[in-house]
Amino acid sequence: MRQNSLRTLGWVALVTLLQSCGDPKSSSTSGPDGGPVATSRMTIDLRVESSESGIAVARVNLNDGQVLGESYRLDGGDYFRACVNGVCRNMAENDSLTSPDYIARFDFQPGVDYVVAFNRQGAQNAPDSRVTLPTAFTIVTPANHQQVTDGETVVFSWTPTGAPASALLSYFADCPQPGSHIYSSHTLSADSNADGREPVSIDAILENARASATSPITRCSIDVTVSHELRGRIDPAFRGGIARGIVSRKVSLDYIAR
């Protein structure tokens, strides 16, 4: 049986609470008297993210904004359309059974608005949610697949620093156990002084994994992701939501016990 660190379980539980659960509801027939759900009762989660060079992915989820609430599947002529610099694409559903996302892929273009329009047949349109991507950056240190061990602190540095975008470091660790794996993930730190440098404690990462280990951990693959994020704005026709432009880069560390 696969095991997860306690902190990972808490993180997954939080995400589950914030996301919609159960079968998604129809955008066009789940409103009063079987009519469309009002746009003013919908919450939008808009992300435009670039995790690899040259590519940006726009992703949208619609829900009711409630903990343990409901997501919406678009039908009845409702659809999302995303545009950047005059290039427009209808956003396709990812076919999730519980919480459908709508996705479009574009070339990476920092410093310009990615605009997402919600077009509706029987309710109010929301044509102007938008977000800008930060500038691309490169992780300078450490080297990919650098070997690390107990007691080490590894300095992550990148260029450019990303300011005024906020910078955040997170990790995902995969630690083999006899007949199983322990997985651990969490946020590490934020580059609050925007200098493009943050120390990462290997012991702090391993502490979470060891909390669930049934035998000594001797090796792990640790992916550390640096994310630069800018906040955008959502169309006022929605009940609420968030728009984020994210550029992320990842480095893998190979942990071997001392």
pLDDT in tens, the chain (258 residues): 334 433 433 443 444 444 445 689 999 999 988 999 999 999 999 999 999 999 999 999 999 999 878 999 999 999 999 999 999 999 999 987 778 999 999 999 999 999 999 999 999 999 999 999 999 999 999 999 999 999 999 999 999 999 999 999 999 999 999 989 999 999 999 999 999 999 999 999 999 899 888 899 999 999 999 999 999 999 999 999 999 999 999 999 999 999
Tens of pLDDT, residue by residue over 79-110, are 999 999 999 999 999 987 778 999 999 999 99
Residue 95 pLDDT: 80
Are the folds of 10-132 and 135-256 the same?
A: yes
Residue 189 pLDDT: 95
pTM assigned to the model = 0.87
Name the token pair of 195. 């200098």
Residue 183 identity (one-letter amino acid): Y
Q: With b meaning 16 or more CB within 10 Å and e meaning fewer, what string describes 163-182?
A: eebbbbbbbbbebebeeeeb
Residue 67 pLDDT: 85
Best CATH choice for the domain 135-256 from the list 2.40.110.10, 3.40.50.920, 2.60.40.10, 3.40.50.10440: 2.60.40.10
Q: Where are the domains of the chain?
A: 10-132, 135-256
Name the token pair of 36. 């469309």
Looking at the domain covering 10-132, what would its CATH class be? mainly beta
Residue 21 pLDDT: 54
Q: Is the peptide bond before 36 cis (omega within 30 degrees of 0)?
A: no
Using left for φ > 0, alpha for ψ between -120 and 50, and beta otherwise, residue 22 falls in left
Residue 99 pLDDT: 83
Nearest-angstrom CA–CA distance, 175 and 210: 9
Residue 151 pLDDT: 97
**First-to-last CA distance in the chain?**
27
Contact 162, 140 (CB under 8 A): no
Residue 17 pLDDT: 43
